[in-house]
A and B are shown apart, each in its own frame.
Chain A
């Protein structure tokens, strides 16, 4: 296929997204990355049955932590795709790169304080 994806995306390989821990994600943010996404297998197609579903819950939990800290939870996303979906992989890498670029540098790196207020998000939801 020889598809290109943005060079800013650094891949951390895990045997299954079920292996992804809260701390893996938190430590990445601590290290100063601007965004993280977890790419798991399609729902219902996990070789270990529920690894990707566990990852989804953990991503949700960390999004909650980020929101509580005033960091935009959109900096963290979960995607589901199969190993045969190279084109989709590139799309996701581009989509996430654009999203994070629009949000700007992480406040954890800049030290400029909160960038996100949880209440506003809730009101939008209503």
Chain B
């Protein structure tokens, strides 16, 4: 999932300061699963904003909605009927959702209520960890199922570097060295000799963000 975190409330309040009638839009997909922008968080944020406004003796009307997805036009269009009655859309979906709101409702400002961080999964309830950077050329079959692009701070393909110490990364002693994990895993799989002795060729990063904004087209699905 895409993992995001709520922005500090002060930042959100400053963002919506000039509006008195807003839509607060959550998303039932990733943002809901990472407990940042689902129906529940929409309710809590709406209440928090209302409290802040009441504290200052100012009224605000908040329309609470939680869309199936904010990254699909058909669902984003779901608020078309009433969007025009509001001054701004505060989206607590990921960055994609905020941009889709902006693209679909051109005359209404779309504001981000979350900081979107990474593609990852949950380690336990309330803890999420990054796993994928979407580099566009997956090599997990060669690295024991551990991603060096994500798990190594330098995204090295022939690691570890000299900063690896006791299995930890020099960037932060709390972070495990991705290459130590890869080596341990390859050994456990009995693939160490076969895999680790071969140098990775230079990676073509043009499939990653370096190639500019990416688009995938499936001609068989496209209308």
A residues sitting closer than 8 Å to B (CB atoms) are 22-23, 26-27, 29-30, 65, 68-71, 107-114
Q: Are A108 and B55 in contact (CB under 8 A)?
A: yes
Instruction: Tell me if B8 is interfacial: C-beta within 8 Å of chain A.
Output: yes
Inter-subunit contact B55/A23 (CB<8 Å):
no
- Give the dominant DSSP class at B's interface: helix
Cα–Cα, bound, A71→B43 (Å): 19
Per the bound structure, the CA–CA distance linking A110 and B51 in Å amounts to 11
Return the contact of B48 from the options A65, A70, A113 (Cβ within 8 A). Answer: A65
Q: How large is the interface on B (under 10, 10 to 19, 20 to 34, 35 or more residues)?
A: 10 to 19
A26, closest chain B residue (CB):
B47
The number of inter-chain residue pairs (CB within 8 angstroms) is 47
The answer to the question of B74 belonging to the interface, with a C-beta cut-off of 8 Å to chain A, is no
Report B-chain residues with C-beta under 8 Å of the C-beta of A22.
44
> Given that A23-B43, A65-B48 are known contacts, is A111 also in contact with B54, CB under 8 Å in the complex?
yes
Q: Does B52 contact A (CB under 8 A)?
A: yes
Return chain B residues, CB-CB under 8 Å to A107.
55
B57–A112 touching, CB < 8 Å: yes
Given contacts A68-B8, A113-B56, contact A23 B47 (CB under 8 A): yes
In Å, the complex CA distance between A113 and B54 comes to: 8
Binary flags per residue of B27-51, CB closer than 8 Å to A gives 1, else 0: 0000000000000100110011011
* A30: min CB distance to chain B, Å: 6
Whether the pair A113, B10 counts as a contact (CB closer than 8 A) is no
Contact flag A108-B54 (CB < 8 Å), given A26-B48, A30-B47: yes
Q: A23-B47, A26-B44, A30-B47 are in contact. Are A65 and B9 (CB under 8 A)?
A: yes
List of A residues within 8 angstroms of B57 by Cβ: 110-113
Asked if residues A70 and B44 are in contact (CB atoms below 8 Å), the reply is no
A26 vs B55: C-alpha distance when bound (angstroms): 13
Query: Hey, which chain A residues are within 8 Å of B40, CB to CB?
Result: 23
B16 to chain A, nearest CB (A): 14
- 11 A-B residue pairs with Cβ-Cβ distance under 8 Å, sorted by A, are A23-B47, A27-B47, A30-B51, A30-B54, A65-B48, A69-B9, A109-B54, A111-B55, A111-B56, A111-B58, A112-B57
